[in-house]
Structure 1
Amino acid sequence: MWMGIDLGTQSVRAVVAADRGDVLGSGSAPLAGRREGVRHEQDPEQWWRAVCAAAREALSEAGPGAGPRALAVCSTSGTVLLADRAGRPLGPALMYDDGRAPSRGPGKALLLLKEHGAGRDVRVLHQADLILARLAGRILPTDSSHALKTGYDPERESYDDSALSLPKGVLPEVVRPGAKVGEVCRAAAEETGVPAGTLIVAGMTDGCAAQIASGSLAVGSWNSVLGTTLVLKGVTAAPLRDPTGVVYNHRAPDGSWLPGGASGVGGGALRAAFPDADPARLDALAHGFDPAGPVAYPLGAQGERFPFLAPDATGFLLGAPASPAEHWAALLQGVGLAERLCLDYLDLLGAPLHGPLTFTGGAVRSDYWTQLRADVLGRSVRIPRYSEPALGMAVLAAYGAGAAPTLAEAAERMVRLRHVVRPRRSERFAEPYLTMVGELERRGWLPEPVAAHARARTDTTKGTP
């Protein structure tokens, strides 16, 4: 058995998976944060309490005597905190979308050092690092995937010049994902139910974890993870060069590259517009608006990171919805339109897009939204049976423990496909797509070359590239 733990924005999930990918047990626990304007913080102590609850639930569901041979942990990319030498938090964590500092580089760490680290012997930890420290009873090396946002260069396999502005010894040692880094200690075993001595394998960020869970590990394949936000990741033989820094490259355990980006569009915008919504009921009503008349760019918070960089960007809705159902339909459609622009931007950078596209994330629970996104993109998409990032970490744990010679082979054995969704009449979405692209360009957020490429790839008679 293998365990994967996923620290998301709103919850922690844990799974126990068999060697052939069957999920034997799963557990979850909610998380809450504090948002004030651009500020977004969470209490790191609640992460650990949630991990303990989720792990115990997953092990209980797996049955008496269930114990994983190894585990790995993923978390949100760019979430950091300060801890003392023993790994105890010294204050709140800055979440990945906290707008007081840049999403990449040492900015968040510098802000934390100023607020909570003056005169202290401190360590900068990523979200998953704290959980690994609690599991092992000591601070362990971080992985290159989480370290990417704090100035780690995966090509040189060392911190870049931007990280030199931090005090020496503050940043953690870095290893590749899948490396063996420690074992679960007795104190953590008592709290989590995970047996003492269980191998701890270096993890990856949540977007990479979802990519592993999707089985998208061949060059040219892509995984779109849609939950609170949208993360799109693919596989290339070499790093994908982007002079704007919008697309970044993670390094896979086998040395291939996982380029991608994270957009602010997604379920967060739906919850903001419809805080008490019944999604299933609104999905059923939204069928009558196909396509929706109003055109939305549904950002959950200020600022956009992919497919363009615009810290001042805000969500918008062009046109007045005739009803709440049409408003809902416009937001769902808007996410699909933004997703399409992401793929067009990747094509502009020269990314291979010929492989299969897989959808994962919480949004795949909506059959209507999944079909709508396939229609907007104009291409078939695969839906795995289990699409949780936690399963991706179970696959990585199996690889790290030596159960398969490559990560791709571990995923091939453990990832199961549920079905394939094929597009219908995608030409319907050419006009709203071009309207959205034009509005983004008019507002000065989308660079002209990107907008021109999106228009060139749009066949107005078929609606697809």
Structure 2
Amino acid sequence: MTADRIIGIDVGTTSVKAAVLGLNGQVHARFSTGYDTARSGANRVEQNPDDWIRLIRAALDDFADQPVAAIGLCSQVNTHVFVDAAGNALCPAISWQDGRAGPEAAELDAQISAAQKTAWWGAPMPIDASHAIARMAWMAKHRPDIWEKTRWVMLPKDYCLLKLTGVAATDPVSNIGLVDKDLRYIDDVLALVPGAADRLAPLVGITDVAGQVGDGPLAGCAVVAGTMDAWAGLVGTGAAQDRSTIYLSGTSEILGISSATVTPTPGVIVFPVAQSIRLHAAPTQNGGDAVAWFSQLTGLSMAAIEHHVATTPRSGATPLFLPQLDGERAPLWDADLRGAFLGVGRQTGMGDFARAVYEGVAFSARHALAPLQTSADVADGVISCGGGGFRAPTWAQIRADVLGRPLRTLAAGEPGVLGAAMLAAIGTGAFAGFHQAAALARYERHYHPDGEKTALYDRVFAIYKDAIAAHGDISKRLTRAVQDTEIPGGY
């Protein structure tokens, strides 16, 4: 039997998703299983890295009878694993949502000028709490015992690559803030933390075959190095076409534009050119995670939330929701922001709260999209969309109305898996490049903005921006007051 199928694997924030695809885009098998995230104390968000590889091996076992030519990987990034010389994790992985390294990040960021950042990255991107160099500084300061034993500081996909193949490697696109526009590590950044340069894996191309599966039913199968989930997902959703706009909705909202034009703009990430694609990206901190939080808080299922919103029109009873439950990334890059419901009244019901959550996430996406459009010099056209957040039709329509742009959604639904499969197909020569591999992307539904609703949301969005600016200081003062005061339980 000819090995003419490919596997795409996405190690996401909440689950491992994988699929076997034919070169015509047909899905032959799927896998998706979730894992836990631990939240202990302020700004502490951790995962067990061995959950990732355990589920990848389970997926490969499920796919054992498939004629697979190659495996492509992508994963959440700015999640870091400190690994010893034997290839084992020394502590839980520090998630991208974790803000513990905020003070170290601020100290490091102050040592780098905006001009240096723009020269390296194409935009004055800050060193924030999720930056690898800030995490290394935190570990060296607070857990020197672990830091001394650390051989590699790895991203999730690279840890899984090491476990699958025995090869330590990473790619330049995933290493945001450590790599310059020429796809090389930045010596001046690594010099900020003594020993950082010695703990980074060698760089390989995103479509390079990094190794082969060492054991199990797919032993010997080629594994392509892959890249970060956002880049893979954006390309899987349609970013191979220049001047296209893409929107991924998962745990967070990630907006991207493919454009060779770069106008340095605060709040935006500009990736180095890879496979002739120049991506501008604006990732938020809370998307589907805000809806999951609301679901856990209220006991409502996702389907029940969708029903509430579909049957509850916006009215004077609908509050404004600020979704910054764990801080914000683009465009504000402030780990200390917190969320809020504003304008709650006696007439506000559960449907109003649910609608406010949907709308608040959409407003955060619009907030991130504005500087992104400036950075890429692209401000029109249909937006190609993918991810679990677009499975809810009412929410998709709200996004179209808030953004004032037509949307189209992927039929496959999992853009990261699709992008990872494209990487594998290119890496083994099945496709010449992403422009050819883009044929795997198929679109299913279209959403067009309602002019009257967009005009209403324009007015509400202006209030949203004012609320973010005003609430930021209030939430920080409240957090400091609670941290500084110990209130005994009981009366």
**TM surpasses 0.5:** yes
Matched, 1:127 2:156: yes
Q: Deviations over 1:279-333 (max 9, x none)?
A: 22232222343335211121232x2111222232111211116111110001101
Relative to structure 1, is the Cα distance of residues 440 and 71 closer, same or farther in structure 2, using a 3 angstrom cutoff? same
Aligned to 2:320: 295
Q: What's the offset of the Cα at 1:251?
A: 3.1
Q: Which of these residues, 38, 46, 49, is aligned with residue 34 of structure 1?
A: 38
Q: What's the offset of the Cα at 1:39?
A: 0.5
Matched, 1:155 2:182: yes
Aligned to 2:342: 318
Q: Which of these residues, 393, 396, 399, is aligned with residue 426 of structure 2?
A: 399
Partner Cα separation in structure 2 for residue 27 and residue 258 of structure 1: 28
Q: What's the offset of the Cα at 1:196?
A: 1.7
Aligned to 1:175: 204
Partner Cα separation in structure 2 for residue 252 and residue 386 of structure 1: 26
Partner Cα separation in structure 2 for residue 163 and residue 240 of structure 1: 26
Relative to structure 1, is the Cα distance of residues 121 and 264 closer, same or farther in structure 2, using a 3 angstrom cutoff? closer
Aligned to 2:93: 93
Relative to structure 1, is the Cα distance of residues 316 and 155 closer, same or farther in structure 2, using a 3 angstrom cutoff? farther
Q: Which amino acid aligns with 1:44?
A: P
Partner Cα separation in structure 1 for residue 150 and residue 467 of structure 2: 49
Matched, 1:55 2:83: no
Relative to structure 1, is the Cα distance of residues 354 and 175 closer, same or farther in structure 2, using a 3 angstrom cutoff? farther
Partner Cα separation in structure 2 for residue 117 and residue 386 of structure 1: 41
Secondary structure (helix, strand or coil) at the match of 2:247 reads: strand
Partner Cα separation in structure 2 for residue 103 and residue 129 of structure 1: 17
Matched, 1:69 2:55: no
Q: Which amino acid aligns with 1:274?
A: S
Aligned to 2:7: 3
Q: What's the offset of the Cα at 1:43?
A: 1.1
Q: Contact conserved, 2:80 with 2:132, CA < 8 A, in 1? A: no
Aligned to 1:137: 166
Larger CA deviation: 349-358 vs 292-301: 349-358
Moved over 4 A (4+): none
Q: Which amino acid aligns with 2:34?
A: P
Secondary structure (helix, strand or coil) at the match of 1:204 reads: strand
Secondary structure (helix, strand or coil) at the match of 1:69 reads: strand
Q: What's the offset of the Cα at 1:444?
A: 5.6
The alignment's TM-score, normalised by the length of structure 1, stands at 0.87
Secondary structure (helix, strand or coil) at the match of 2:357 reads: helix
Larger CA deviation: 280-289 vs 381-390: 280-289
Q: Which of these residues, 282, 297, 303, is aligned with residue 261 of structure 1?
A: 282
Relative to structure 1, is the Cα distance of residues 252 and 204 closer, same or farther in structure 2, using a 3 angstrom cutoff? farther
Q: What's the offset of the Cα at 1:22?
A: 1.0
Relative to structure 1, is the Cα distance of residues 404 and 252 closer, same or farther in structure 2, using a 3 angstrom cutoff? farther
Larger CA deviation: 101-110 vs 327-336: 101-110
Q: Contact conserved, 1:221 with 1:235, CA < 8 A, in 2? A: yes
Q: Which amino acid aligns with 1:143?
A: D
Partner Cα separation in structure 1 for residue 363 and residue 222 of structure 2: 42
Q: What's the offset of the Cα at 1:78?
A: 0.3
Q: Which of these residues, 206, 214, 228, is aligned with residue 185 of structure 1?
A: 214
Taking the TM superposition and a 5 Å limit, the aligned residue runs for 1:308-347 are 308-320=332-344, 322-347=348-373
Q: Which amino acid aligns with 1:266?
A: G
Partner Cα separation in structure 1 for residue 71 and residue 202 of structure 2: 20
Q: Deviations over 1:212-252 (max 9, x none)?
A: 2212222221211112211111211144523x4x2112235
Matched, 1:224 2:247: yes
Q: Deviations over 1:145-173 (max 9, x none)?
A: 22124x22233523341222241421111
Partner Cα separation in structure 1 for residue 379 and residue 164 of structure 2: 39
Aligned to 1:305: 329
Q: Deviations over 1:70-125 (max 9, x none)?
A: 11111112011111223221111111111011222411123334525343352111
Aligned to 1:199: 222
The alignment's TM-score, normalised by the length of structure 2, stands at 0.83
Aligned to 2:271: 250
Q: Contact conserved, 2:173 with 2:274, CA < 8 A, in 1? A: no
Partner Cα separation in structure 2 for residue 280 and residue 24 of structure 1: 27
Q: Contact conserved, 1:265 with 1:297, CA < 8 A, in 2? A: no
Relative to structure 1, is the Cα distance of residues 113 and 401 closer, same or farther in structure 2, using a 3 angstrom cutoff? farther
Aligned to 2:483: none
Relative to structure 1, is the Cα distance of residues 121 and 307 closer, same or farther in structure 2, using a 3 angstrom cutoff? closer
- State the identity %: 27
Q: Deviations over 1:121-140 (max 9, x none)?
A: 5211111111101111232x
Q: Contact conserved, 1:221 with 1:357, CA < 8 A, in 2? A: yes
Q: What's the offset of the Cα at 1:35?
A: 0.6
Secondary structure (helix, strand or coil) at the match of 2:460 reads: helix
Q: Which amino acid aligns with 2:469?
A: E
Secondary structure (helix, strand or coil) at the match of 1:142 reads: coil
Q: Which amino acid aligns with 2:287?
A: G
Partner Cα separation in structure 1 for residue 152 and residue 201 of structure 2: 7
Q: What's the offset of the Cα at 1:350?
A: 5.1
Q: Contact conserved, 1:306 with 1:342, CA < 8 A, in 2? A: yes
Q: Which of these residues, 427, 434, 446, is aligned with residue 462 of structure 2?
A: 434
Q: Contact conserved, 1:80 with 1:126, CA < 8 A, in 2? A: yes
Q: Contact conserved, 1:78 with 1:95, CA < 8 A, in 2? A: yes
Q: Contact conserved, 1:43 with 1:92, CA < 8 A, in 2? A: yes
Aligned to 1:408: 435
